[in-house]
Structure 1
Amino acid sequence: MLTELDPALDLAEHLRLLLGEMPDGCGEYQLIQVLRQRHCTHIPHLPLTDRLVLFRTHFLLFNALYRLRDRLWQEKSAHLAIGALHIQLLPYRAGEEALAVHDSLRDYYLDLDQLRQAGESDVEALLASFWTRLHGGEEKRAALELFELDRDAPLDLALIRQRYRQLVSLHHPDRGGSTQRLQSINLAMEILTRYYR
Structure 2
Amino acid sequence: MSHDLDPALDLADQLHELLREAPEGLSEYQLIQALKARHSTHIPHLELTDRLVLFRTHFLVFNALYRLRDQLNAEASGQLAISPLCVQLLPYTAGSAALCELDPLRDYYLDLDNLRDTTEQDVERLLASFWTRMQGSEEKLAALELFGLHGGNQPLSLALIKQRYRQLVSQHHPDRGGSTSRLQSINKAMEILQRYYS
Fold-level match, TM-score > 0.5? yes
Name the structure 1 match of 2:59.
59
1:179 maps onto 2:180 in alignment: yes
Alignment-mate amino acid for residue 55 of structure 2? F
The C-alpha deviation readout for 1:145-164, integer Å capped at 9, x for no partner, is: 434547544445x5588569
Q: State the Cα distance separating 1:31 from its structure 2 match.
A: 0.8
Q: State the Cα distance separating 1:36 from its structure 2 match.
A: 0.8
User: Per the alignment, in what secondary structure is the counterpart of residue 22 of structure 2?
Assistant: coil
CA contact (8 A) 2:26 2:87 kept: yes
1:47 maps onto 2:47 in alignment: yes
CA contact (8 A) 2:55 2:123 kept: no
Structure 1 unmatched ranges of 5 or more: none
Cα distance in 1 for residues equivalent to 2:59 and 2:195 = 26
Cα distance in 1 for residues equivalent to 2:12 and 2:77 = 15
Alignment-mate amino acid for residue 64 of structure 1? A
Alignment-mate amino acid for residue 89 of structure 1? L
Name the structure 2 match of 1:124.
128
Q: 1:159 to 1:40 in 2, by over 3 A?
A: farther
Q: 1:178 to 1:112 in 2, by over 3 A?
A: farther
Q: How does 1:155-170 map to 2 (within 5 A)?
A: 155=156, 159=159, 166=166
Q: 1:56 to 1:164 in 2, by over 3 A?
A: farther
Cα distance in 1 for residues equivalent to 2:173 and 2:67 = 58
The C-alpha deviation readout for 1:84-135, integer Å capped at 9, x for no partner, is: 32222233222255555743433343344544333312223224434655xx
Q: 1:97 to 1:73 in 2, by over 3 A?
A: closer
Indicate the percent of aligned positions where both proteins have the same amino acid.
59
CA contact (8 A) 1:15 1:65 kept: yes
RMSD of equivalent CA atoms: 3.7
Report which stretch shifted further, 48-57 or 169-178.
169-178
Q: 1:56 to 1:184 in 2, by over 3 A?
A: farther
Structure 2 unmatched ranges of 5 or more: none
Report which stretch shifted further, 146-155 or 167-176.
167-176
Name the structure 2 match of 1:19.
19
The C-alpha deviation readout for 1:32-73, integer Å capped at 9, x for no partner, is: 101111222322322223344333322321221111101111
User: Per the alignment, in what secondary structure is the counterpart of residue 119 of structure 1?
Assistant: helix
Aligned length: 192
User: Normalization by structure 1: what TM-score?
Assistant: 0.71
Q: State the Cα distance separating 1:176 from its structure 2 match.
A: 8.7
User: Per the alignment, in what secondary structure is the counterpart of residue 81 of structure 2?
Assistant: strand
Q: How does 1:11-160 map to 2 (within 5 A)?
A: 11-95=11-95, 97-98=97-98, 102-115=102-115, 116-117=117-118, 118-130=122-134, 133=137, 136=138, 140-147=140-147, 149=149, 151-155=152-156, 159=159
Q: 1:15 to 1:165 in 2, by over 3 A?
A: same
User: Normalization by structure 2: what TM-score?
Assistant: 0.71
User: Per the alignment, in what secondary structure is the counterpart of residue 42 of structure 2?
Assistant: coil
CA contact (8 A) 1:51 1:123 kept: no
Cα distance in 2 for residues equivalent to 1:142 and 1:70 = 41
Q: 1:51 to 1:159 in 2, by over 3 A?
A: farther
Q: 1:163 to 1:179 in 2, by over 3 A?
A: same
CA contact (8 A) 1:5 1:14 kept: yes
Q: State the Cα distance separating 1:77 from its structure 2 match.
A: 2.0
Report which stretch shifted further, 27-36 or 105-114.
105-114
